[in-house]
Structure 1
Amino acid sequence: MATMRLNRVKERLQKGLHALCFAAWGYDGADHLERLAPAEPDGIWLEGEHGEVDFGNLPNLTRAIDLIGATPIVRVHQNQAGLIYRCLDLGAMGIAVPHVNTREEAEALVQAGKFWPIGQRGSFTSRQGIGVSDYFERANDQTMLMVLIEDVVAIENLDDILAVDHIDVFFVAPGDLAQTMGLPGKAGDPRVQALVDETLTRVVRAGKTAGALVTQANAQHHYDLGVRLFLSGPASWLAAGFKQLDQAAAAGGQA
């Protein structure tokens, strides 16, 4: 009889370790995801808000992520119960919900993402539960729920949002936050970054797990703030690697 697959990201976070997740922006094919195996990511973030992830391709995407030993996480496009638990049914082990601005919205995620006695997730065995006799007893422990704090109003309501149980990660996203501060497209603005840092610090001081978008340049800074869920996309890595290769080629030509 099969056993329930462990949520690698959640397990590391519960141990106080950091978890590094690959943001699969532009990597929406199962073959692409399988080729990430040498990088050994803890989790892979599938983009269902701004990307091509849908119910038709989600089973194969999560299957590829399972194959390389990572945890499949889906950012859905809205905080809607049927959408959330259908993604879980099709193989997601983590759900990230954008624009969670109130305690009630955070509680709605818990209701949709957890079975009784915690929530009211629709009763189905999921592709993660195929052949797992005790799936309904174990699924809640292996399902990770993440809220995105990305609006000024969410920061104003942060204490109430942080009071909601069974939320595993409070992720502070700078892009939309900048927009609600009247600074669209300026996520790197010092005013935005200062508010991000302040909010992450509040999450950590409340005894909760903070998540952030990181690069090689700011990873240490975020770790020092107490962030433990790290999300990073391929664009900066590809650009940096290509520039290094170009520089190496140019240096060779000058020898």
Structure 2
Amino acid sequence: MLQNNLLQKVSENHICKAFGIKVVKSNEVILLAKAAGYDAVFIDLEHSVLSTQDASILCSSALLSKITPFVRVPYQCGQGFVQRVLDGGAMGIIFPHINTAEDAKRAVSTTKFPPHGKRSLTAAVPQFEFQRVGAKDVIQQLDSTGSTVFIMVETVECLNNIDAIAAMQGVDVLLIGANDLSLELGILGEWEHWKFQNALHKIANAAQKSGKILGVAGLYARPDICKMLVREHGARFVLGHLDVGLLAMAMNRNVELLRDMEM
């Protein structure tokens, strides 16, 4: 099976550099991410109009480019939807708005084959480049390295249950969802506020105690906080930015350059 760059980077004590996709659905965006040096793509089906077919095409392109595709699914989308995304080539699922250990347990169950979960087996999947592989090998490899479970920490209830969620077998990554978390805390965008800073430390401590990977998303304008989480708390998954954000910033800079020509 094709390599999971997140797990490989963690084993080497490096960060997995991720790029978010929510508006650009052509294969070229994968090639651009590869050329830039990203290790993974975060394909967003929660806050976009991308389809499962779009996600599958992007996943297959990423796998062939040796970039690991992870897909964020919509809240409470159902087991069948998650399975379609996994069968379409995702190497992991990002679950939003997880609140309790029971929520986390159900998330794990949708991604794993029996006896560890309820995922159904199918033949010829993109993760194996559609080659014929024995069923036992497919199950073993997809369960161990081809179905990474990200739990987004973005609600107060999740924060209150973080130790139990982190301890859940099958959970791989605690991913800080900075924007929704600060919104729930009543301090939207106030990254220096003690409530937000305390939340970061609480999540990081839970990840370290349970041996889970710490990830961060949403702090695109605050690389200093991301750096702190990487260097002081061992965060190993960092979502650098989204396609729409990078395009907007580049376009704004270019228009300013053009305006300067008239000065």
Determine the C-alpha separation between the residues in 1 that align with 2:179 and 2:144: 31
Determine the C-alpha separation between the residues in 1 that align with 2:30 and 2:258: 29
Per-residue CA deviation, residues 79-130 of structure 1 (Å, 9 max, x unaligned), is 4211111100011111000011111111111111011232221111333232
| Closer, same or farther: CA 162–8 of 1 in aligned 2, 3 Å | same
Tell me if the contact between 2:148 and 2:172 (Cα under 8 Å) persists in the aligned partners.
yes
Q: Which of 107, 111, 114 lines up with 1:113 in the alignment?
A: 111
SS at match of 2:215: strand
Query: 1:1-255, aligned counterparts within 5 Å?
Result: 4-79=1-76, 80-125=78-123, 126-129=125-128, 130-133=130-133, 134-142=137-145, 143-183=147-187, 185-186=188-189, 188=191, 190-206=193-209, 207-213=211-217, 214-215=219-220, 216-224=223-231, 225-234=233-242, 235=245, 239=249, 243=253
Cα drift, residue 239 of structure 1: 2.4
Cα drift, residue 245 of structure 1: 9.5
TM-score w.r.t. length of structure 1: 0.86
**Taking every aligned residue pair, what percent have the same amino acid on both sides?**
22
| Closer, same or farther: CA 244–176 of 1 in aligned 2, 3 Å | same
Determine the C-alpha separation between the residues in 2 that align with 1:26 and 1:156: 33
Per-residue CA deviation, residues 217-242 of structure 1 (Å, 9 max, x unaligned), is 43321212221111121426862796
| Closer, same or farther: CA 226–246 of 1 in aligned 2, 3 Å | same
Structure 2 residues not aligned, in runs of 5+ = none
Cα drift, residue 7 of structure 1: 1.1
> What root-mean-square deviation, in Å, do the aligned CA atoms of Structure 1 and Structure 2 show?
2.6
Determine the C-alpha separation between the residues in 2 that align with 1:249 and 1:177: 38
SS at match of 1:176: helix
Determine the C-alpha separation between the residues in 1 that align with 2:253 and 2:138: 48
Tell me if the contact between 1:172 and 1:199 (Cα under 8 Å) persists in the aligned partners.
no
Cα drift, residue 193 of structure 1: 3.1
| Closer, same or farther: CA 178–31 of 1 in aligned 2, 3 Å | same
SS at match of 2:52: coil
Determine the C-alpha separation between the residues in 1 that align with 2:247 and 2:45: 22
SS at match of 2:46: coil
| Closer, same or farther: CA 158–87 of 1 in aligned 2, 3 Å | same
> Which amino acid is the alignment partner of residue 160 of structure 1?
A
Determine the C-alpha separation between the residues in 2 that align with 1:30 and 1:237: 16
SS at match of 1:44: strand
Number of aligned positions between the proteins: 249
| Closer, same or farther: CA 244–199 of 1 in aligned 2, 3 Å | farther
> Which amino acid is the alignment partner of residue 218 of structure 1?
I
Per-residue CA deviation, residues 33-84 of structure 1 (Å, 9 max, x unaligned), is 2222211211000001001222222221112212321001100002421111
